[in-house]
Structure 1
Amino acid sequence: MRKVYTRLFFFMFLFCFLLFIVPSCSVSPQNFPIIPFDEGYTPLFGDHNLIIHSDSKTVHLSLDESSGSGFASHDLYLHGYFSASIKLPYDYTAGVVVAFYLSNGDMYEKNHDEIDFEFLGNIRGKDWRVQTNVYGNGSTNIGREERYGLWFDPAQDFHQYSILWTDSKIIFYVDDVPIRELKRTESMKGDFPSKPMTLYATIWDASNWATNGGKYKVNYKYAPYVAEFTDFVLHGCSVNPIDHVTTNCDNTAQISDNVSFGVTPLEKIKMENFRLKHMTYSYCYDRIRYKVPLPECVINPQQDERLRKFDPVTFGNGRRHRRGKRHHRGKDNQAEDAASF
């Protein structure tokens, strides 16, 4: 039996070694430790709308007429892997935004960085939308937004949403499926996030832009809107917010080493399939905002043709429709679809 295991291990190692140029044996997100809420986070605002379960494993954030709510990580982080399982509000959710994101806007008001997962509510009968965005050094005039549908109903159960951030790339995952990879290029200059950031989670009223450019507002008849968070992962190079001394950087280096060549070949196929099926907007294909695509954009003709049928409302006139979410202190086909990525 020992010989069988030894031989199996050898072949697995050989397989990984032969594919080292684009490795398929990168570290799995499931290998990162899950921590209790109070070990990594603290309430941010809307205390009466933030409920921490007694075991500190699950948190409810709610939005009602009085306030939204949110929490933030104790530490700042410079690179790492950040994840939570989230269950979104159900029924009529137009105008509601649930956000899971990294930002340093409270420290660098004019040149801050940000990496966003934003979940955009909808009218009854319409699906939630997921939006990702990346910018650095205060480059808010250049939006790198992308928007997608999902292959499941995110209000029916918990699903994992993860951000991997290294000095060379950012990868967004949904249930361990990479949905977006943004590689740092020379042309981006300071637009790539490079300063320590805090991890945030919030729910708030974005009636003025979130659903069809503000056409549909939050209807508090359906309040409270409750978003549930669990399975918290904070695995990165932590930075003390007072003296800016970094710790745990060896772990982050290991993460970077394992993903230094990007997503694996199998993940690449899943990502491209997801994007061709579910992406409804990308800044790279927005001819109204950008007459010439930004330098890092690689245009896929098939995707270009597909996205023409989607109306880029909210982005078409180039204005920024949201800012300040940090400061809202007052106010049986699923498995088949996932396997096809």
Structure 2
Amino acid sequence: MEYGIHSRTLFFFFFFFSLLYTTTAFNLTTLRFDEAYSPLFSDFNIQRSPDDKTVRLLLNRFSGSGIISSDYYNYGFFSASIKLPAEYTAGIVVAFYTSNVDTFERNHDELDIEFMGNVKGKPWRFQTNMYGNGSTSRGREERYRLWFDPSKDSHRYSILWTPKNTIFYVDEVPIREIVRNTAMGGDYPSKPMSLYATIWDASTWATNGGKVKVDYKYEPFVSEFKDLVLEGCIVDPIEQISSTNCTDRIATLLAKEYSTITPEGRKSMKWFREKYIYYSSCYDNIRYPVPPPECVVVPSEREMFQNSGRLREKLKFGGSNRRHRRGRRSRQPRKVAATGRPRSCYVKWPRKCCMCNMYN
């Protein structure tokens, strides 16, 4: 028995490291904060390193904080090495996402990576999502755990967005791909978007359905962003006039190593999804009796899920399977509520925050 357990342990150890070994690092050009970003809200909770290559976003009892890319991009690769808060993280959400909600309020596009804190002693969870043309009621969520502690060290999280596909990466491991097809119509993001990074108080819903709140005894909560990457064609969001030839820039983007998943990358993605995913809208037959048109049903994944899109076996960590959407923001400084969310968030969704359009 001991030999069998030891053998299985060694097998998974070598299998895991073989996956990492076959996944080569991307050749990326990083930027300083002042080259590509601006404060979004709560400047007093944004700390920039002396060389301007690292930015720390703080959440305390006064506010959260956020940054935004200085430009809009017509497709691109958006990436950062992120280290999440440690110790007590219940009620906290850290988000790294693209959006154009401020310019296209009723038909905005969005691609999300959102990290959700947990009760003490439980791991961070995160989700990816896609909205196109204002299709927030048809969000395409997936939710996962991680194979490492994201509060111990920085790890790279990336969003590739092209006219053909969208790929989410953790380090250089592809965890999700959405391939565009004609049946998706406007649900596939296609308008210029900005890149955001934020940390905020989501006590009303984020942990166990809002039962566990942010405990400011542990403030400040710090999320660190470095190795900032913004690659794409800069455009005017309204006129959609580019500062360069977008045809050439998009062709260059499509030729990059991260725009195509290699056979080795497919193996890594299969390993990740079968081990760490715990919800997928593609297998949620209650919300979607007919799966969304971009879904590719994988038999080995299908067996994992109930008709609700959640795992058949209850996982060992707690938390809510809810999601939210964000409200508008302006390029101009705005007043924010004590949580760090713009006060205008409460206009569109009376009696609830615009970032908290919930469902179970």
- Tell me the TM-score normalized by structure 2: 0.78
Shift of 1:240: 3.4
Q: Which residue of 2 aligns with 1:308?
A: 312
Q: State the one-letter code of the partner of 1:51.
A: Q
CA distance in 2, matches of 1:280, 1:325: 30
The two structures, once aligned, show a CA RMSD in angstroms of 2.3
CA distance in 2, matches of 1:42, 1:31: 25
Shift of 1:260: 9.7
CA 1:46–1:261: 2 relative to 1, 3 Å: closer
Determine whether 1:80 maps to 2:83. Answer: no
Aligned residues: 302
Q: State the one-letter code of the partner of 2:134.
A: G
Q: State the one-letter code of the partner of 2:106.
A: K
Q: 1:95 is matched with which residue: 91, 112, 119? A: 91
CA distance in 1, matches of 2:54, 2:155: 13
Determine whether 1:209 maps to 2:205. Answer: yes
Determine whether 1:329 maps to 2:336. Answer: yes
Q: State the one-letter code of the partner of 1:215.
A: K
Cα deviation digits, residues 208-233 of structure 1 (max 9, x gap): 22223223221212111100000000
Q: 1:104 is matched with which residue: 100, 103, 109? A: 100
Q: Which residue of 2 aligns with 1:119?
A: 115
CA distance in 1, matches of 2:138, 2:257: 27
Q: 1:269 is matched with which residue: 255, 267, 270? A: 267
Q: Is the contact made by 1:280 and 1:310 (CA closer than 8 Å) also made in structure 2?
A: no
What secondary structure sits across from 1:116 in the alignment? strand
What secondary structure sits across from 1:181 in the alignment? strand
Q: Is the contact made by 2:206 and 2:319 (CA closer than 8 Å) also made in structure 1?
A: no
CA 1:138–1:156: 2 relative to 1, 3 Å: same
Cα deviation digits, residues 120-145 of structure 1 (max 9, x gap): 11111111011100110000010200
Q: State the one-letter code of the partner of 1:271.
A: M
Q: State the one-letter code of the partner of 1:182.
A: I
Determine whether 1:177 maps to 2:177. Answer: no
Q: 2:191 is matched with which residue: 188, 191, 195? A: 195
Shift of 1:246: 0.9
Q: Which residue of 1 aligns with 2:280?
A: 282
CA distance in 1, matches of 2:325, 2:120: 23
Cα deviation digits, residues 140-164 of structure 1 (max 9, x gap): 0102000111111000010000111
Q: 2:140 is matched with which residue: 131, 141, 144? A: 144
Shift of 1:32: 2.2
Report which stretch shifted further, 97-106 or 256-265: 256-265
Determine whether 1:31 maps to 2:41. Answer: no
Q: Which residue of 2 aligns with 1:16?
A: none
CA distance in 1, matches of 2:314, 2:143: 11
What secondary structure sits across from 2:122 in the alignment? coil
CA distance in 1, matches of 2:53, 2:96: 17
Cα deviation digits, residues 193-212 of structure 1 (max 9, x gap): 00000000000111222223
Q: State the one-letter code of the partner of 1:30.
A: F
CA distance in 1, matches of 2:313, 2:28: 40
Q: 1:133 is matched with which residue: 114, 129, 140? A: 129
Q: 1:252 is matched with which residue: 246, 250, 253? A: 250
Q: State the one-letter code of the partner of 2:160.
A: L
The percentage of counterpart residues that share the same residue type is 57
Q: Is the contact made by 1:202 and 1:325 (CA closer than 8 Å) also made in structure 2?
A: no
CA distance in 2, matches of 1:98, 1:35: 21
CA distance in 1, matches of 2:325, 2:72: 23
Report which stretch shifted further, 244-253 or 32-41: 244-253
CA 1:114–1:28: 2 relative to 1, 3 Å: farther
Q: 1:67 is matched with which residue: 43, 63, 72? A: 63
CA distance in 2, matches of 1:120, 1:68: 14
Contiguous gaps of at least 5 residues in structure 2: 1-22, 305-310, 340-360
Q: Which residue of 2 aligns with 1:22?
A: none
Q: Is the contact made by 1:104 and 1:196 (CA closer than 8 Å) also made in structure 2?
A: yes
CA 1:171–1:44: 2 relative to 1, 3 Å: same
CA distance in 2, matches of 1:52, 1:313: 32
CA 1:199–1:50: 2 relative to 1, 3 Å: same
Q: Is the contact made by 1:97 and 1:204 (CA closer than 8 Å) also made in structure 2?
A: yes
What secondary structure sits across from 1:187 in the alignment? helix
Q: State the one-letter code of the partner of 1:197.
A: M
Q: 2:220 is matched with which residue: 196, 221, 224? A: 224
CA distance in 1, matches of 2:96, 2:109: 14
- Tell me the TM-score normalized by structure 1: 0.83
Cα deviation digits, residues 152-202 of structure 1 (max 9, x gap): 100001000011110010001111111110011222110000000000000
Shift of 1:242: 7.0
CA distance in 1, matches of 2:66, 2:200: 9
